[in-house]
Structure 1
Amino acid sequence: MPYQDVFVLFWEQVKESVQEDRFAKLTMAKTIGKPDLRNIFVRPIYAEDGFKVLLKLRYRSKETEDEENELTLEEAYAVIQSHLRKSFFSVLLFTTTKDITFKINKKNAGSITEYPPTFKEVMQAQIDSE
């Protein structure tokens, strides 16, 4: 199945984990080549005005400062999707009930694999105040 279709199914599980308060973290790692962007992390922020995420772009070079943005889940989806196959081949969803890995293979097919949970409880993101 084309990776785009599988990613839609994967993202449904992300949204479901948020609705059920099981979303712990989302990570893009395993870069393609050696780009300056090393990781993308998405952590939950359960705020009074609804659910948001803290999206962090972590860079390899010390000269490039990491970026943090508070986004809606839909905004985070656009960022994550824009980096698929360009910078990263996999996305890991950590929930309190299971870990789910989305991967793209060399033939551009997507797959979803489930594992036992890494996190037992949801840890909200700490927002750096300046």
Structure 2
Amino acid sequence: MSFTETFTHFYNHVKASLADGTFAKLTMAKTIGNTDLMNIYVRPIVDEGILKLELKYKFQQEEVIEIHTIDAARDKLVTYINNPFLSAILFTTEFDLTYKLNKKRAVSITEKANTFGNASEVLLEYLNQ
């Protein structure tokens, strides 16, 4: 399977957690080497009454924010898998899901106990409209 296919499988969990109100946050981390882009933090926002995702790019010297639809955010994020990020972590109120590439670039998706007890407030307000 390609990184695009495996990341899409992972991202389906992101979409499900947004739909059921359990999404807390998504973080892309563990860069290859010393890169200017250190992390991407993803959180839900409501833009013109539509649930979208804010992508905050954390560079060594600055932060850049982009707003995308949920599907467009996947298309944007998948381009950073393996260049420069080796992992993405979905935090939900039910579990944490880690997408990880090892040194041989084999993909693993593992589930752990949840880190966060509360979902994103923006998401909960949007779902309860």
**Structures share a fold, TM > 0.5?**
yes
Q: Please give the residue correspondences for 1:45-60 in structure 2 after superposition, counting only pairs within 5 Å.
A: 45-46=45-46, 49-60=49-60
Q: State the distance in 2 between where 1:60 and 1:4 align.
A: 27
* 2:57 alignment partner AA: L
List alignment gaps of at least 5 residues for structure 1.
Answer: 126-130
Q: Take 1:4 and 1:48, find their aligned partners in 2: how far apart are those partners? A: 30
Percent identity for Structure 1 against Structure 2 = 42
Cα distance in 2 between the residues matched to 1:24 and 1:83: 21
TM-score by length of 2: 0.85
Assess if the C-alpha contact under 8 Å between 1:43 and 1:124 holds in 2: no
Structure 1 residue 48 displacement after superposition:
6.4
The CA distance in 1 between the partners of 2:5 and 2:67, in whole Å, is: 27
CA RMSD of aligned residues (A): 1.7
Structure 1 residue 91, shift from structure 2 partner? 0.4
Q: Give the distance between the partners of 1:5 and 1:82, measured in 2 at CA.
A: 12
* Residue of structure 2 in register with 1:76 after alignment: 73
Alignment: residue pair count? 122
Higher relative helix content:
2
CA distance in 2 between counterparts of 1:4 and 1:55 reads: 19
Higher alpha-carbon deviation: 73-82 or 24-33? 73-82
TM-score, normalised to structure 1, is: 0.84
Q: Provide the rounded CA distance (Å) in 2 between the counterparts of 1:116 and 1:102.
A: 15
